[in-house]
Structure 1
Amino acid sequence: MQRRSRTGCVDCRRAKVKCDEAVPTCGTCERRGRRCQGYAFDRRTRNIKWKSIITVHDQQKHESNNEYDRRAKRRKSESDSTQSTSPRESDGSSPFSLPEQPEDEDPTEIVAIRPDSWELAISDLSATINLSPFPIGDCSPEDRLGLCAYFDRHPHELVIGSEPEFVKDMNMHFLSVFQQNPEAMRDVLCGIGQVYLHRMGQSSSLVRALDKRAKTLARIRSRNEIPQNIELVLAIILGICGLELIDTNYGPGDLSLQILHSTTAVFVNQYLSTGSILSATSKFFLRGLARQEMMIAITQRRRPSIACSVWLDSECYNTADRFMGFTMTIMPLWEEICGLAEDMKRTVSPHSLGSDLLSAGAEATMTTSQAQNSLEIAILHSRAAALRARLDSWHPPSVPNFSGSSSQKFFRHAATYRSAGLLYLHRLLYSPGHSESADSLALSLAYEIFAHLTGPFSWLRLSLLPTLIAACEFKRHDDRRMALDLFEGMYGSRNTFTTDTTKRFVVNRVWPSLDSGEEVTWMELAERYPGECVPI
């Protein structure tokens, strides 16, 4: 009979079921349809053994303490055996007792680390880039734990489907910049790792994470000249954005993402104005920041500050991105949609866009301003129709390097963004309640989006924007329950602050507005309640 693990996750230990102890979340919870709460720390935190990053001095000290503990345990065991009046059976154990720990095993708790998290990341990448040993000995013990927690969880939990190639690429680029400025990168990566440690039960880690964030922001503000090392600047800003995304203690008004994205645009434009060219590593970091900024620009109906032309190159047409999958080539279309949304917001109200451009015989009674407004509306309609046709004809690139399973998740992900673009365009022209036919078409497009949102939640966790756009059309209870299940599954797979905030925005703002018959779009509500809709 299999005994349940003594080191299983919080949920499995509470439910008294066997945990497979997979990281970052166990497979047992996934099969039970529950969101895994992770693994709790032992009370003896100072004795936790982090094999991946322990130094030689710490290893010798740790082994010495372990040998002392083993000898004490052996003496106690021998003493108990001499005083016992009921000797054990020949097999040495009771059928209902837990097996004793072998003598050569470490009695302290060992926190499981992904095999490809630290040592293998360095060994695998050493053949690709020249990596010198990290100055780990200069780190405090808390920083060492934070670094290990970062590489153990962050790349795996953020990329699409936890693809090993994506994880390896993230580690390669961050490790290469780490070598250039260990102190700066250590602060931001440790800050992210400390947030994960806080979730795992180490209460003091959140204070350390906030301290690392403050130090890193101060380091960015102190750069008054054009940064010579653009790779380092982009890596630091992306790291700060990642820290804010995974910290669920933030409130709607606490995020500084938009400021960080604007700072990125300024740094990049200044760098390019000198005639310099962005390296592959710089574009790797910039794509992550550009995607985040695009999502915010979509909700705010404005042009993104980081133009697609800066990071989109020929390589994007024959590969996949760890965040965007096969959707890199559709981002220029989304950029044009954002530009159209900004022009529409500045020119006319959404309610007048869906009306007839010119009623019969109206030309004679029109004023000059009315005629000019009607012409602008006609131009906006023409631009929307052209974008709709281009979205209809867009297809994701075919990348032969990925397996059928990987390609399947990427094609579904791309299909959701294409359908979401069509629905977003439709709502720019026709607000809810404009007409029964317009609302019916919008609901049909929402169902089309959800038709592509199938598969494991690790495949879907980067489809928050399409989920938001579709969920804002649902009025029926079962449709809303379907959307809530998807939001919660995505939050369980990619435990970010923005996922939970976006779900609350839909539940507390959009659906009550629909139920009351208010003829406003979700984009207008997002601007009415700033910071509550961040679908990153």
Structure 2
Amino acid sequence: MPTQFYRRSRNGCVTCRAARIKCDEAHPLCKQCERRGVACGGYKVKLKWVEASDVSPDSQASAKSVVKPRSSLAICPSSKTAKAIQCKKLANSSTALIRNPTTGPRLHSSSDVFIFTHWSKSLPDLVYPNPEEYVSVREPYLAFVWQQDSILLPAVLAAGASHLFGLGVVTQEEVLERKQRALGQMVACVQQQKRLPPTETQNKLPVYVSEEAIAASLALIGLEIMQGSDTCIIRPLIRGTRAQLEERILLLQAMSDGSQLEKPTPMMSVNIKMLAYMDALCCVPCARKPMFDRQFWQSMILPHCSTSAKRYPDIVFGYTTDILPLMGDSGALVEDFFSGGITPESFVLSRYCLLQELNACCRELPEAVQQPYCEGTDSDTVESHRIRTGNACIAAALSFGLATQIFLLHADDGDSSTTWTDQPLKQSLALVEQLSEAVLAVPVDTFASTMMIWPIRTST
């Protein structure tokens, strides 16, 4: 009679079966290996004969050796996991790699392949505090990356190289080279559009305001953020991307007279929210006015947020949807105070209102869900991970609110013109203690930890 662990691991990954432990059978790679810190060997691939319909004869190759080319660079669609694992094995094998498959991105070197593979595996975990919704964004993103003469692909490779440079894998020269290549692609895109006659562009959106171009601009902004660039470098890029977005909106409004409108993909709303998120982070701690004011948030950003955002973390914002605009307002207020644009009395009054709003947002955050531990049960379930992700997003949002309150309270340190007017509000020490507790409530192995640069900077 076979043992219990063999029955449970019959369909598990190669690594878990060899270790004789329970595998959660998650595809394409199991979470059990990820938690153990070992490389998942994937799942045993069932080979099958190639049907005659799969054969695509080529005039330059023999009919026996030619089949339909398959990309070994896919981002593992969930519905075709077996094929994805097979593709990964092919990519790691010594067989010849198809550099320019007809169904994949045009990658011209082994370095391109390595960077693209790293980007495809790391993007959801690095960018989104709640990557469960990433499945709705992945397909349109891939469609733009895979198309011929893609504008997005050079930006993706540049961003991937930037992250690998931070890990010490690639050189800074390679990052700069890929960055220049991506910027050159964007400039060429704009210049090409200007050379086209009006008759060819009147019924369709210009390429430089397409979803693909806006996504490429965001990738370049993300590159600068990963490199730790100054806000004086990042903000012009945000301003340019906002100009792309505004021109796209105006052109779509002008085309609403019966012309064929371009229906946005789910990726568009995520890109808009990501742009607003980056803008809010650039307002602190170096006080700057946001490029997206409250009216823009009301008209362009909040409609893209789910109605269930109070119960489930947003893919981009987590639970910080209401706090981010207040961060922008706080940066604008402090900048006005530093520049002498407002009187000390006006600053104190406006600060009091913002502190009240931030405090209200913190109080309205959902309560963390407690998971009772039962000995002998498997705590590594899908629901358990969802609860853990949600709790981390709640703590991250609380950290954002507390850090912004501390930022406001310390804005007038050393200024005797304001210390006498709102002395009761000087509770920064208590807020710092609360912030430290909130930061510790965000485990480093959760997706929400990628949001914590602003709270951690304030708490140190």
Instruction: Settle same-fold status: TM greater than 0.5.
Output: yes
Q: Could you tell me which of 297, 319, 329 is aligned with 1:326?
A: 319
Contact 2:105/2:148 (CA < 8 Å) preserved in 1?
A: no
CA contact (8 A) 1:318 1:399 kept: no
The code of the aligned residue for 2:301 comes to: W
Task: Tell me the CA shift for residue 431 of structure 1.
Answer: 4.5
Equivalence map 1:127-526=2 (5 Å): 134-136=103-105, 139-160=108-129, 163-179=130-146, 183-195=150-162, 207-222=173-188, 223=190, 227=207, 229-247=209-227, 256-276=233-253, 279=264, 280-307=266-293, 308-309=297-298, 310-313=300-303, 315-319=305-309, 320-347=313-340, 376-394=343-361, 395-396=364-365, 403-431=386-414, 441-453=427-439, 454-457=441-444, 458=446, 459-471=448-460
In structure 1, runs of 5+ residues without a counterpart are 1-7, 9-20, 30-37, 40-55, 58-112, 125-131, 349-372, 472-536
Inter-CA distance 445–322: structure 2 relative to 1 (3 Å threshold) = same
Deviation at 1:158, TM superposition (A): 3.3
Q: For the aligned residues, what is the CA RMSD? A: 4.3
Counterpart code for 1:230:
S
Distance in 2 (alpha carbons) for counterparts of 1:218 and 1:337? 36
Cα 1:384–1:168 change in 2 (3 A) is same
Q: 1:447 to 1:259 in 2, by over 3 A?
A: same
Residue 236 of structure 1: SS of its match in structure 2?
helix
Q: Distance in 2 between matches of 1:404 and 1:27?
A: 17
Summarize deviations over 1:129-172 as a string: whole Å, max 9, x none: xxx97334664433222221211223223332xx5514434533
* Aligned match of 2:68: none
SS at match of 2:305: helix
In the alignment, the residues of structure 1 paired with residue 231 and residue 327 of structure 2 have an alpha-carbon distance, to the nearest angstrom, of 27
Tell me by how many angstroms 1:227 deviates.
Answer: 4.9
Show CA shifts across 1:419-472 (max 9, x none).
12221221224449969x78972222111111111242134331111121222x
Deviations 1:173-209 (A, max 9, x none): 4214325565322212223334456677765x65444
Whether contact under 8 Å (1:432, 1:439) holds in the other structure is no
Q: CA–CA distance in 2 between the matches of 1:191 and 1:144?
A: 13
Separation in 2 of the partners of 1:123 and 1:174?
Answer: 18
Report deviation, 1:231.
Answer: 1.1
Offset of residue 416 of structure 1: 0.9
Residue 3 of structure 2 corresponds to none
Per mean C-alpha deviation after superposition, the further-off stretch among 292-301 and 412-421 is: 292-301
Q: Counterpart amino acid of 2:233?
A: S
What is the one-letter code of the residue matched to 1:318?
S
Is the Cα contact below 8 Å between 1:419 and 1:448 reproduced in 2? yes
Question: What secondary structure does 2:276 align onto?
Answer: helix
Contact 1:318 1:398 in 2 (8 A): no
Are 1:449 and 1:466, in contact at CA under 8 Å, matched by a contact in 2?
yes
Secondary structure class of the residue paired with 2:391: helix
- State the TM-score, normalizing by the size of structure 2: 0.60
1:384-413, Cα deviation, whole Å (9 max, x unpaired): 222222222222379999843232112111
**Separation in structure 2 between the aligned mates of residue 419 and residue 206 of structure 1, nearest angstrom:** 36
| Contact in 2 for aligned 1:262/1:305 (Cα 8 Å) | yes
Aligned to 1:67: none
Q: Give the partner amino acid of 1:386.
A: C
Distance 1:235 1:442, change over 3 A: same
CA contact (8 A) 1:327 1:417 kept: yes
Greater Cα shift, 272-281 or 292-301: 272-281
Structure 2 CA distance for partners of 1:234 and 1:323, relative to 1, 3 Å:
same
Change (3 A) 1:197 1:297: closer
For 2:406, the aligned partner's letter is L
Task: Give the whole-Å Cα distance in 2 for the aligned partners of 1:432 and 1:261.
Answer: 33
SS at match of 1:318: coil
Equivalent in the alignment of 1:18: none
Q: Which residue of 2 aligns with 1:487?
A: none
Shift in CA distance, 442/138, structure 1 to aligned 2, threshold 3 Å: closer
Larger C-alpha radius of gyration, 1 or 2? 1
Amino acid at match of 1:232: E
Structure 1 CA distance for aligned equivalents of residues 263 and 289 of structure 2:
22
Retained in 2: the 8 A contact 1:301–1:338?
yes
Question: Normalization by structure 1: what TM-score?
Answer: 0.52
- Structure 1 residues 314 and 187: CA distance shift in structure 2, 3 A: closer
Label 1:326 to 1:133 Cα distance change in 2 as closer, same or farther (>3 A): farther
Whole-Å separation in 1 of the counterparts to 2:234 and 2:158 = 16
Match of 1:48 in 2: none
Q: Distance in 1 between matches of 2:79 and 2:177?
A: 27
Distance 1:181 1:165, change over 3 A: farther
Q: Please say if residues 145 and 193 of structure 1, whose CA atoms lie closer than 8 Å, have aligned partners that are also in contact.
A: no
Instruction: Map 1:73-112 to 2 at 5 A.
Output: none
Once the two structures are aligned, what percentage of the paired residues are identical? Answer: 14
Please tell me whether the aligned partners of residues 318 and 397 of structure 1 are also in contact (alpha carbons under 8 angstroms): no
Given that residues 116 and 160 in structure 2 are in contact (C-alpha distance below 8 angstroms), is that contact kept between their aligned partners in structure 1? yes
Q: Distance in 2 between matches of 1:343 and 1:445?
A: 24
Cα distance, 1:283–1:273 mapped onto 2, change above 3 Å:
same
